[in-house]
Amino acid sequence: MFESLFGSKTRVKLLSLFLNNPNRPFYVREITRKVDEQINSVRRELSNLLAIGIVRSDSNNNRLYYEVNQEYQFYAPLRAIFTNVAASEPELADTKEDIELVKRLRSTGNIKLAFETGSFVRDPSAGTDLFIMGDVNRARVAKLVSELEEEMGREIYFTIMTPEDFTYRQRLNDRFLSGVMDAKKIMLIDETHSKVKPAPAALKDDIAEVSVPVEIKPNKQ
């Protein structure tokens, strides 16, 4: 039915991919693998979607990336059709790769919150690519990130915070944490159930200072 409505099976698959991953850019060969269609057909339909305006492209690291244009006038109804969720709801991990990543992350310890941001959604304001909050084995996380880097062919910066440090920093309106939480993201794990509200300035002096290590993979100079 959708093929008749939208013109071709490949176009339907592309729309489904983009609309279910609104903050994620994809390059052509990655798209081809995900939709399981011939590359010429994919290129043709990408050109059509670009001309319509529902998809936009941008180059990064000598690759051309495509993603859904969330400013397209019919973005909200199309997303509702293809995802059956409101366009304003946060994006959740629903691709095969993300679901597998969730399993791998859970093997590192007790994770309360984890999401992709930064280079995963092309948001440089985040300051990190993978954020993890929980009690985890840091060596296992580092090994997992190293494996992801090899699989994806690029460097991935990650941040680990314990629940105590996360709460403390959130109450103090920590600039780094605020930037990460406000950035675009793809939620992998969220077992927080409620958000900790920033503490009033008058309470800051009453919060005992804690010294909990935060692991952040530093940018290379």
In a domain, 88, yes or no: no
The pLDDT score that the predictor gives to residue 200 is 38
In a domain, 221, yes or no: no
In a domain, 38, yes or no: yes
> How is residue 191 annotated by DSSP?
-
In a domain, 74, yes or no: yes
User: Would you tell me how many other CB atoms lie within 10 Å of the CB of residue 121?
Assistant: 21
Residues 66 and 22 in one domain: yes
Residues 104 and 79 in one domain: no
Domain's final residue, options 51, 83, 115 = 83
pLDDT tens-digit series, residues 105-156? 999 999 999 999 888 887 777 889 999 999 999 999 999 999 999 888 889 9
pLDDT tens-digit series, residues 162-199? 999 999 998 888 989 988 888 888 889 998 864 444 33
Q: Which amino acid does the sequence have at 7? A: G
In a domain, 78, yes or no: yes
Tell me, what CATH number does 46's domain have? 1.10.10.10
The pTM of this model reads 0.55
**Domain range enclosing 128:** 96-216
In a domain, 171, yes or no: yes
pLDDT tens-digit series, residues 7-25? 788 998 999 889 888 878 8
**Mean pLDDT of all residues belonging to the chain:** 80
Domain count, the chain: 2
- 172-207: buried (b, 16+ CB within 10 Å) or exposed (e) per residue? bebeebeebbebbbbbbbeeeeeeeeebeeeeeeee
